Structure 1
Amino acid sequence: MSESVLSSEENLERFRPGEVWTDTAGVPINAHGGGILRHGATYYWFGEHKIAGPWGNEAHVGVRVYASEDLVRWRNQGIALAVSADPASEIASGCILERPKVIHNRHTGLFVMWFHLEPPGAGYTGARSGVAVANAPCGPYRYLGSLRPNAGIWPLNADAMLRQMLSAEEADSLAARRFSGGPEADFPADLIQRRDHEGGQMARDMTLFVDEDDIAYQIYSSEENGTLHISQLTKDYLHHEGRYIRVFPGGFNEAPALMKWSGRYFLFTSGCTGWRPNALRLAVADSIWGPWTDMGNPCVGTPQESATTFQSQPTFILPVNEKSGRFIFMADRWAPKNPIDGRYVWLPVDLSDSRPTVRWHKEWTISAS
């Protein structure tokens, strides 16, 4: 993007990670687990609208959207996707609707939103991807439905041994287990991928990424959170193309966020520790199809800061100017007992070393990033 979009006056505005961030009306921004779309000269921030109290971890309002030209001052644009008044709907009040991301399809003109969806009453057993569309960035978005991705499709990087249906013994073994969503001894990642072959792969924490050739990808936690999947979307961004890979089987990664710089792909994730923050992870690949190489923890700070990703979890990497290496690391500081009080931790991605790093700044500006 052109640096002229941000005036010198606007550059004086400061980001203050972890502090209460209000919109232009003075109301705290309510867009958790969010992502940002830039369309024209305007940025649109989509996120989960939370309410007070522990029941705020469910969706009772929908996805809210804000607009800004300088990334600091945000105008509330209302609810982009509302929960349904129909109690039989998958997105009725009480569903779990997380990490909404929106991309624009230049060919169809549609704005496409994907998100992690758990229909009401399903807990986290549904593990589905929901999709909605709109004719304008702020919506209103029309819900199209949900699915488990890539039903009947084997991963591109699965060898012959992993392209076989489960035996009766293997199926019985899996049926007898209860999975916690976190690391477990003897975790049967390969069996889970094969178990879900016919019905589609589980999809929880997710993000979207559009490459320079306009091909879009969904990256999501799958296989009981044990393995990441990178899955290509169709040209209209409304379905899965049927090409996907497994990344770090049994590694337990969630909260994916992807960026591309200098021809290489960098994938930020967290571990799976529920609402408790853990150490940030970074992986790199020369192709989005891998192979992916673990680069360790990119956080630079005190031992406590590095071990907890500054008490936050990643949600999105915002490219401000890819050519000059200006990216913003977006993360959430969750408050599960009172979700509406969750805070936002935005920090500049430092590319001065041989790999991206993220350092703590009590306050910072775009011009000094």
Structure 2
Amino acid sequence: MSTVKMQSVRLPIDQNGNVAQLHGLGVQCFDGIYYAYGENKVNGGLFQGVVCYTSSDLHDWVNHGIVLAPRSTGLLATDTIAERPKVLQCPTTGEYVMFIHAERHDYNYAHVAVAVSDNPLGPFRFLFSMQPFGNISRDIGVFQDSDGTGYLLSEDREHGTHIYRLSEAYHSVVEDVVCLKGANYQYGYESPTMIKCNGFYYWFGSQLTGWDSNDNMFATASTIEGPWSEWKPFAPVGSYTFDSQCDLVLPLPDGQFLYIGDRWNPDDLGNSPTLWLPITLKDREAVLHWHDEWTYEI
């Protein structure tokens, strides 16, 4: 193992000296290499494709270019919006399946698009979009359990935030496992993400405040079906999660867990920095403390 020093507030740079477009990102580790799929925001908020970066240490990133390209017309074209690309490798087929929140320009479409590839570096091929069981789908996340079962997390303004079980091939949803609203909050939580630690599931999300940050929340359960605990903040109340919106929580080889969140700058989305901080998960508690910089072994 080697020691890596991480700055907590980062504008990651790729091997070419360009700002890495790691916005709304999803990260997976395939064969010991980290693959990060991010929103390309170089020219603003409309869809410019999904970029994939790889890293052996989560600090230095290699840009592999656009792995899901804009379509010529229709959904995922350059006049539409697509957010929070997340990829899972299906254990039964070996295929890499990407889910992405897909919108038309008026932001009223609220679908999740599905794309596939035989290679984690793409190119990914668009299959279709859907509203799971007829529910609107905005911010999404994904989770793969230790038995290989895949789940889609999806925020639905009308009912809450859902955890859907995916089909064996990961191409569709087959069960609406649970749907929750927030604590004393009329909506579910957006930017949903989940991790399993010591037999417990930790579900994270943020309140609906547009580009502005807020006190992100978490809940825990011993089974995905629940019952789930009450939602509560994991960073100091009033810190607005250290001015960030959660993307994911990732286990590190040295036993630490890494929180990654966006610090959105709506006037310059492509240069919006990200927050990388260790987060403590223990005894069904999650705690995020501030560090200007920190180290980990990888």
Note if 1:205 corresponds to 2:139: yes
Among 258, 277, 282, the residue aligned to 1:347:
277
Q: For residues 262-309 of structure 1, what are the alpha-carbon distances to aligned partners after superposition, in whole Å with 9 as ceiling and x for unaligned?
A: 111111111111110000101111111112112411114xx542xx11
**Residue segments in structure 2 that go unaligned for 5+ positions in a row:** none
TM-score (norm 1): 0.76
Alignment partner, residue 164 of structure 1:
none
Give the count of matched residue pairs: 295
State the structure with more CA Rg: 1
Alignment partner, residue 286 of structure 1:
222
Instruction: Give the aligned CA root-mean-square deviation in angstroms.
Output: 1.7
Alignment partner, residue 238 of structure 1:
171
Secondary structure at 2:83 match in 1: strand
Note if 1:127 corresponds to 2:91: no
Pairwise CA distance, 1:352: 5.4
Residue identity over aligned pairs, in percent, reads 34
Distance 2:160 2:200 in 1: 21
Distance 1:213 1:118 in 2: 32
Q: Which moved more, 1:228-237 or 1:355-364?
A: 355-364
Note if 1:44 corresponds to 2:35: yes
Note if 1:24 corresponds to 2:24: no
Amino acid at match of 1:316: L
Alignment partner, residue 101 of structure 2:
116
Q: For residues 329-362 of structure 1, what are the alpha-carbon distances to aligned partners after superposition, in whole Å with 9 as ceiling and x for unaligned?
A: 1100001111111111111111357611111111
Alignment partner, residue 80 of structure 1:
67
Against the structure 1 CA distance between its residues 148 and 295, is the aligned structure 2 distance closer, same or farther, given a 3 Å change threshold? closer
Q: For residues 189-215 of structure 1, what are the alpha-carbon distances to aligned partners after superposition, in whole Å with 9 as ceiling and x for unaligned?
A: xxxxxxxxxxx0011011000001100
Amino acid at match of 2:109: G
Alignment partner, residue 70 of structure 1:
57
| Residue correspondence of structure 1 range 175-186 to structure 2 within 5 A | none
Distance 2:255 2:155 in 1: 27
Distance 1:367 1:304 in 2: 31
Pairwise CA distance, 1:20: 2.2
Among 116, 120, 140, the residue aligned to 2:123:
140
Among 173, 180, 205, the residue aligned to 1:247:
180
1:261–1:325 contact (8 Å) kept in structure 2: no
Pairwise CA distance, 1:325: 4.4
Distance 1:289 1:115 in 2: 24
1:116–1:127 contact (8 Å) kept in structure 2: yes
TM-score (norm 2): 0.94
Amino acid at match of 2:252: V
Q: For residues 87-136 of structure 1, what are the alpha-carbon distances to aligned partners after superposition, in whole Å with 9 as ceiling and x for unaligned?
A: 2x2111021100000010122111000010003x3x22111000000011
Among 261, 264, 280, the residue aligned to 1:334:
264
Distance 1:104 1:212 in 2: 13
Secondary structure at 1:287 match in 2: coil
Secondary structure at 1:50 match in 2: coil
Distance 1:262 1:105 in 2: 23
Distance 2:111 2:282 in 1: 38
Distance 1:295 1:278 in 2: 14
Distance 2:80 2:248 in 1: 23
Pairwise CA distance, 1:247: 1.1
2:111–2:138 contact (8 Å) kept in structure 1: yes
Alignment partner, residue 165 of structure 1:
none
1:102–1:111 contact (8 Å) kept in structure 2: yes
Distance 1:236 1:326 in 2: 31
Amino acid at match of 2:267: K
Pairwise CA distance, 1:246: 1.2
Note if 1:57 corresponds to 2:48: no
Distance 2:115 2:18 in 1: 27
Note if 1:270 corresponds to 2:203: no
Distance 1:17 1:140 in 2: 32
2:96–2:118 contact (8 Å) kept in structure 1: yes
Secondary structure at 2:270 match in 1: helix
Distance 1:365 1:24 in 2: 22
1:283–1:295 contact (8 Å) kept in structure 2: yes
Alignment partner, residue 163 of structure 1:
none
Distance 2:98 2:282 in 1: 33
Secondary structure at 1:356 match in 2: strand
Against the structure 1 CA distance between its residues 295 and 141, is the aligned structure 2 distance closer, same or farther, given a 3 Å change threshold? same
Secondary structure at 1:340 match in 2: helix
Secondary structure at 1:133 match in 2: strand
**Residue segments in structure 1 that go unaligned for 5+ positions in a row:** 1-6, 151-199
